[in-house]
Amino acid sequence: MKRKLIAAIGVAALSATVAACGSDGDSGGGGGGDADSITVWLMDGSAPQEWVSELNAAFEAEHGVKVNVEVQQWDGVQDRVTTALSEDGTVDVLEIGNTQTVGYANTGGLADLSELSEEPWNENMLASAEVDGTLYALPWYGANRVVIYDKSVWAEAGAEVPTTREEWIEALELIDENTEAEPIYLPGQSYYVMGGFVADEGGSFAVEDGDEWRGALNTPEAEAGMEFYAELQSFSESPTDNDEASPQQSTEVVPNQEVASWIGLGWEAAGAVAAIEEAGGEADFGYFPIPGKTAGELGHVFLGGSNLAVSERAGDKELATEWLRMATSQEWAQRYVDANNDGVVPNRTDVTAEPGAGSFAEAMVASADVGFLPPLTTGWANVETEPNPIKELMTKALNGDDYATAAEEADSEITTRINRE
């Protein structure tokens, strides 16, 4: 492959699914708790069956009530949660994405959990669970992206694992010059990856402006972040108008062409390995954190994950809070991390993750302290609705459009959407 010319600048995977302990396992709505039971909604794939079973057995033995776990699918979950939070007794405890917590809290749907605020929570995760100093959810787990690379291709090229952005580019140049592989697969619209580079520069997608928010892409920081993204993307054969899910990079791209490296989550790495092996091949991946501007700092990464909350209209808020207290305690949080083979970022500072040397988890956990979150406000969901103005800006920039003009248009749209409840 020959490198393209640069146009003007343009959950750790969890292998097991939750069992519906004490329930029929259906993903629909069900009754909330009463004097004899509580209902917990967990997302498909969020917790190993053994952990859930043992936790609920311990809780039931201590409190003499039954725990009904109902597994929810991510597709369409926001509508189901919104409906459940508006009804009495539908659900007691529920898992919600960390970027969704503020929105649900602002509707009045989540109970105040400030009595649990003194626990040693991971500060980066805690930010997504608080609104105006009030705790409305508890951090559960985090996950972030790392660079996944083909060891054999890198060895053929004589490329070494980088510790800085400059070394990263040098490695891609070696791969481009000495192999037939695509140095990096990077879609034009992987906006959370780009957001990390913006955060490296001290910028953000949007900033608070008095009582409102305004887009912040037409800034030197965002432009610098986009410039580095464009430099990386120039080594990719991907179009500039698609994201990592269209096509799915882990199962539709990487297994079907020679890709030297890509940026992904744990479940994507596992999916790529499975797809390659299913096709009769053998995956030989290595992993490293996204490098920072200097050897002494790693690049910022979007810290995704989930929180656990109690419905304000729960059938039994007291019991629901006690289940939440147990599930996120040091003992059960440590068990959760261990059960996931250290494939998640711990929710507490007194929980340790000791991933194996050279594993995805090792690279992921290394970046946890430099995780960033998008603007924590109800209106952020409006920004991410298609057509996403950040994605549109990225494509324009990569195609050589004037950055300032494109960014000004994106900021105007972001400002309108983010301030709309």
Block means of pLDDT (10 residues each) for the chain, length 421 residues?
Answer: 33 34 42 75 92 98 96 88 94 94 92 97 92 95 95 98 98 98 98 97 96 97 98 98 95 96 93 95 96 96 94 96 97 94 86 90 89 89 92 98 98 96 74
pTM here is 0.83
Q: What is the sign, positive or negative, of the torsion defined by CA atoms of 356, 360, 363, 368?
A: negative
Identical topology for domains 37-143+304-355 and 146-301+375-418: yes
At 154 the pLDDT is 98
Strand partners, 143: 304
Placement of tokens 């302290």 in the chain:
369
Token pair, residue 150, equals 């083909």
- Please count the other Cβ atoms lying within 10 Å of the Cβ belonging to residue 28: 9
At 8 the pLDDT is 30
At 32 the pLDDT is 56
- Strands (E) located in 101-243: 130-131, 134-135, 138-143, 146-150, 206-209, 212-215
Strand partners, 263: 147
Domain boundaries 37-143+304-355, CATH class: alpha beta
Q: Which fold has domain 146-301+375-418?
A: D-Maltodextrin-Binding Protein; domain 2 (3.40.190)
At 88 the pLDDT is 95
At 31 the pLDDT is 53
Q: Report which secondary-structure segment, H or E, holds 318.
A: helix 317-327
Cα separation, 172 vs 262, in Å, equals 11
**Would you kindly state where each structural domain of the chain is located, as residue ranges?**
37-143+304-355, 146-301+375-418
